[in-house]
Amino acid sequence: MASRPTAASDGAPDEAKSSSTKTNVKAPQPSKRQRASTKYKHTFAVHSENRTSCLSSDSTEEPPSFSGFRNLMGLVLVVSNLRLMMENFKKYGVLVTLSGSQIRKGDWTWFGILYLLTPCFLFVAFAIEALAAQYAKSKVADKKRNEEREDKQQVEQSKRHAFLTWRVIAFCHGFNATLMLAIATWVVYFQIHNPGLAAFAQLHAVIVWLKVCSYAFTNRDMRHAYVNVDPAEAALPELYKSCPYPNNITLKNLSYFWWAPTLVYQPVYPSTDRIRWDFVARRAVEFFFLSIVIFVACAQYAVPLLQNSLNDFSNLRLVNLLERILKLSTISLVCWLAGFFALFQSFLNLLAELMYFGDREFYSDWWNCCDLRSYWTSWNKPVTHFMKRHIYAPMVGRGVPPALASLITFLFSGLLHELLVGVPTHNILGVAFFGMVFQIPLIYMTDPLSRMKSRTGRLVGNLTFWLTFCFFGQPVAAIAYFFAWQAKYGTDNRPEWPLQGMGRR
């Protein structure tokens, strides 16, 4: 007789079945209408925390991107200049001619003579340094012999004689550099009438003059380190060990420095391993195109504006003159930006590629500068390196306070600017020099703005730079020198400035 299952065994299968049923059967889902009725569309919290506007100075989030505003400003700049171009063509017609300037034959002759003569002074510096190197070799040999003999009196006498010789060599280097710049300035001021051609000749002369000075200063210190037995004074950069003094005194080494895109002499530079000819081609096309843009902008737009401002300038009609300055600032800014890109990005990179020159930091992001000091140390790195290495640092090393050394360096830069502008235009007005001097108080005024943590201070500093330098500084200087040119030479019987076919209409 079969036994009946117990209660436990009897209920287990039913419980397992019930459990299986619970896990496999889904709960009924609410319909779409039921889901819609459970949402409170008009009651969820929009304002749930403290937040700031993204353009406010007290915003704690990352600053927003201004790429849209940048695109808008670029579009406005293009459209406004197209309108000016249409207005200019309707009023003046085509002023650009392919015949070039009214340049006298004598201008071309003197320009060619000066262009060929100027680099000769660099090779004169090489000859002076070659003689100094031979003397340095003899002094090192004498020093070794005297030390072996322990002749202290002879060693001291040799040091005095070497000191006098170094003074003579320094005088020769200084005379050579000064004579070169004096001859170039005289030829440009008195013999080359056309200001455009004169400006190019003067710029070439100043560049070579800076190279001559750097070559002399650097080799002097390397020569002293070669002769000097004090390791602390004889320490030189590790890079120079591959070409120590006097092995660097060769025509090949000098010729490389002559064409290298730098104003600071080194016996060795960082270099690349090959020439990228596609890179060279792109930079050449950029330079050629931008040169045409600058030529057309000056011929078609800048010159008529300058000529139309002469009457307002002579009669001191300030309101009209301000309107001319603001109108000229647009063309001036276009020419300046195109010139910057053509020189520092296109030409210098092209030259660096051909010369295997590795260090190509010719500029940094000067357009973001919030103070004038940063701008003047970042937009033209070749000149900045020269000023820091050969003017500022030596003065600070000799005990001159850094603030005074900076002031002297800036005044020297102002003299160079006047030399590059006043001499080619045959009017030493001092506008370029005092324009640089005026930057000094602006530098101290904008220095605190760059140290401010808020974006407002940095924005004010950046706008101060753009307004003082681009929208007022350059146009005012252009009008002043153009007015001085016209007052001195006129336009009746002499070549117009600076291009043919741009007279009044």
pTM, two decimal places: 0.80
* Cα–Cα dist 495/263, whole Å: 35
Give Cβ neighbours of residue 109 (< 8 Å, ≥ 6 apart). none
For 210, 265, 266, 467, 482, the CA distances from 340, given in Å and listed in that order, are: 20, 23, 26, 18, 22
Q: Is the peptide bond between 402 and the residue preceding it cis, with omega within 30 degrees of 0?
A: no
Question: Tens digits of per-residue pLDDT, 266-318?
Answer: 999 999 999 999 999 999 999 999 999 888 888 778 878 787 777 777 777 77
Residue 171 scores a pLDDT above 70: yes
Determine how many CB atoms are found less than 10 A away from the CB of residue 347: 19
Cβ atoms of 90 and 496 closer than 8 Å: no
* Cα–Cα dist 216/483, whole Å: 40
Residue 392 scores a pLDDT above 50: yes
Cβ atoms of 236 and 225 closer than 8 Å: yes
CA distance between the termini of the chain: 134
Range ranked top by mean pLDDT from 225-234, 348-357, 468-477: 348-357
Note if 224 is an active site residue. Answer: no
Q: Which tokens in the block code for residue 240? A: 């120079």
Residue found by looking up tokens 């090192």 in the block = 140
Give the pLDDT mean for 224-246.
76
Which tops the pLDDT comparison, 112 or 236?
A: 112
pLDDT, position 342:
93
Residue 380 parent element (H or E): none
Question: Tens digits of per-residue pLDDT, 330-341?
Answer: 888 888 889 999
CA 300, 305, 308, 311 torsion: positive or negative?
negative
- The closest alpha carbon to 385, from 361, 356, 415, belongs to 361
* Cα–Cα dist 226/169, whole Å: 16
Give Cβ neighbours of residue 249 (< 8 Å, ≥ 6 apart). 126, 129, 130, 133, 219
Confidence class for position 357, pLDDT limits 50, 70, 90: very high
Which is the catalytic residue, given 385, 390, 417, 426? 417
Least confidently predicted of 41-45, 125-129, 421-425, 429-433: 41-45
Which tops the pLDDT comparison, 247 or 502?
A: 247
218, exposed or middle or buried, with CB in 10 Å at 0-12, 13-18, 19+? buried
